Structure 1
Amino acid sequence: MMDSSPHKLYHVHGYDSRQHLEHYFSDKPDMVFGDDTLKFVIDNHRQVFAVGHINGDILIDLSLGSFVHHLHSACEFFKNIIVLKVNNRCIMELKRWVDERTGAFYWGHTSTLLQETEENSDQFQDQEAKLRSAIQHVVKYDLEKENMTDPLVLPPADCVISAFLLDVISKDQDDYIRYLRKFSRLLKPGGHLIIIGVLGATYFTVGKDKFHGFTCDEDFIRKAVVGEGFIIDYCNVKERTAVSDLTDYKSIIFIAAHKESRHVITSSVKLKKKI
């Protein structure tokens, strides 16, 4: 069946990953999404990791584009981060930063945001170096393969993070649940899942191209996560503040959950944000 959407699909058509970063994650004066895509993301990651329940050996990141700021807090608790990307352009952009090559995207502004949330900011002076060291592998994957990284077999992860990806690869609710299930299979029993997404979106723009956005609400995402056997420990939704026609999302959501298992004792994580 052919896709009826008038917009391109991120994982099918690809896009200019650098322009995406400039539009939505840069420190430029005209980048209006800072409160949503930068500060909200950093603040919520810091809060859930600070509790100390989310840690271990392996963290797998499946996120849109080539941004890294959502992993700053994670690298304090995981020394081995495996990043999965769906296309070569995003891989090249990310590796340029990891390898400190000339022309790499500037992320210093996100380290500053993280320092501002901490009483002792001295420990974050070398935050970028720590994150670079933690990103052990950047691997291409195929969403439609049973083993998405075939022929590589990844070790089971203690935590999987997916930021802004499910919203753009899913054409409908069935797609969202199918991909969520694939991602959750990467986890160990009792492992943790963090999802960041947007609500009420139909498109986002990179350069001259418009890309598909899956329209959903908080209730659907909560039910999808619980339906895949997770217990939600934390959920925060922020109404959009950015004024721009680059994208039409209404709000942004952050969810942290852990996988139910007969072999682990589960308990609700006590965080400031009520669920």
Structure 2
Amino acid sequence: MASEQTETSSYDNFNAKSYLKNNYRMRPDGIPDSHEDWMPWLLNNLKDTFAGGKLSGERLLDVGTGPAIHNLISAAPYFPNITCAEFCQENREEVEKWVRGENDAFDWDPFIKYVCGLEGEGAWEARQVALRDAIQQVVFCDVREENLPEALNGGPYDVVSSIFTLCGVAKDKADFDGIVSNVSSLVKPGGTLILVCDLEATHYTDGKVSFPHTYLEASYIRQAVRNSGFVDVKDDILVFRSIEGLNWDGTGYIYLTARKSSE
């Protein structure tokens, strides 16, 4: 498979376990512990997006899954065929460990319990099983691949999600535009894109290594999505009051959903 690995070679140094330890913790009251409560904000938005089977179809692709599965918990009851596409091998291995239920896998049970609580669903163990069953593939993905559907051995998907990834790998705004356009080819006409991005950030860290970040405003992200053939663009913005002590220098996050035009 052709890939511009040199474009993102710094991710060879990404430390998945350090990233998980630094970013995925629970408070004693069972609520995700995160700066400005960004994690509850994200999980609640995902809950609302998938609630009651609002999105139709069976196949979901998550682009840039990283070593985490929290963003797929609400999707599992409605999308029995989930593909996790990720550039970094160490991240893919972390997801695969969890799917197989290995002892040294990261413990996502508290997050599954929390999401099921948001949804009013008490049977979190059943959701854990459903999510493990739903994750059909964990595959390599380079978002700059010229023909992504062919590279991923699959046609357009009903839903494509990408959480904090496209903004993080883009070298500049023009590169972000190209990546969004490329990923849009993975969404079937009438399908849904879920995109979460950092706002106005220049760098972030996994706890040990610092990674550059392209400065993106909310208006620019919305327009890039529209330019890639999407309509019904809707978003929710979380504005941070302070970033003191944070491993990132942005001003907030944007949670965006859009429908791929059928025309």
TM > 0.5 between the two? yes
Q: Is 1:50–2:65 an aligned residue pair?
A: no
Q: Specify whether residues 101 and 34 from structure 1 end up closer, same or farther in structure 2 by C-alpha distance, changes over 3 A only.
A: farther
Partner residue, 1:33: 35
- The 5 A counterparts of 1:103-114 are 103-114=104-115
Q: Specify whether residues 193 and 130 from structure 1 end up closer, same or farther in structure 2 by C-alpha distance, changes over 3 A only.
A: same
For 1:64 and 1:33, the matched residues in 2 are separated by 21
Partner residue, 1:59: 60
- Aligned residues of 1:32 and 1:243 also touching (Cα < 8 A): no
| Per-residue CA distance 1:218-265 (angstroms, 9 max, x = gap) | 110111111111113431001125642411121011001101113xxx
- Aligned residues of 1:83 and 1:138 also touching (Cα < 8 A): yes
Decide which moves more: 209-218 or 50-59.
50-59
- What is the CA distance between 1:126 and its match in structure 2? 2.1
Q: How many pairs align?
A: 253
Partner residue, 2:232: 232
The DSSP-based 3-state class of the residue aligned with 2:196 is strand
- What is the CA distance between 1:42 and its match in structure 2? 0.8
For 1:149 and 1:66, the matched residues in 2 are separated by 22
- Aligned residues of 1:140 and 1:149 also touching (Cα < 8 A): no
- Aligned residues of 1:14 and 1:87 also touching (Cα < 8 A): no
Partner residue, 2:166: 166
In structure 1, list runs of 5 or more residues that go unmatched. Answer: 1-7, 263-275
Partner residue, 1:272: none
The DSSP-based 3-state class of the residue aligned with 2:25 is coil
For 1:84 and 1:199, the matched residues in 2 are separated by 23
For 1:27 and 1:58, the matched residues in 2 are separated by 30
Q: Specify whether residues 78 and 201 from structure 1 end up closer, same or farther in structure 2 by C-alpha distance, changes over 3 A only.
A: same
- Aligned residues of 2:35 and 2:246 also touching (Cα < 8 A): no
Q: Could you list the runs of 4 or more consecutive aligned residues of structure 1 that deviate by over 4 angstroms after TM superposition?
A: 8-12, 28-31, 149-152
For 1:64 and 1:204, the matched residues in 2 are separated by 17
- Aligned residues of 2:82 and 2:134 also touching (Cα < 8 A): yes
The DSSP-based 3-state class of the residue aligned with 1:95 is helix
- The 5 A counterparts of 1:70-219 are 70-118=71-119, 120-148=120-148, 152-219=152-219
Q: Specify whether residues 100 and 238 from structure 1 end up closer, same or farther in structure 2 by C-alpha distance, changes over 3 A only.
A: same
Q: Specify whether residues 223 and 149 from structure 1 end up closer, same or farther in structure 2 by C-alpha distance, changes over 3 A only.
A: closer
Higher relative contact order (CA 8 A, sep 6+): 1
- Aligned residues of 1:230 and 1:258 also touching (Cα < 8 A): yes
RMSD, aligned α-carbons: 2.3
- What is the CA distance between 1:122 and its match in structure 2? 2.2
State the TM-score, normalized to the length of structure 2. 0.88
- Aligned residues of 2:24 and 2:33 also touching (Cα < 8 A): yes
More helix by share: 2
For 1:152 and 1:248, the matched residues in 2 are separated by 33
| Per-residue CA distance 1:171-195 (angstroms, 9 max, x = gap) | 1111111111111101111110000
- Aligned residues of 2:57 and 2:79 also touching (Cα < 8 A): yes
Q: Specify whether residues 12 and 206 from structure 1 end up closer, same or farther in structure 2 by C-alpha distance, changes over 3 A only.
A: closer
For 2:77 and 2:155, the matched residues in 1 are separated by 20
- What is the CA distance between 1:87 and its match in structure 2? 1.8
In structure 2, list runs of 5 or more residues that go unmatched. Answer: 1-6
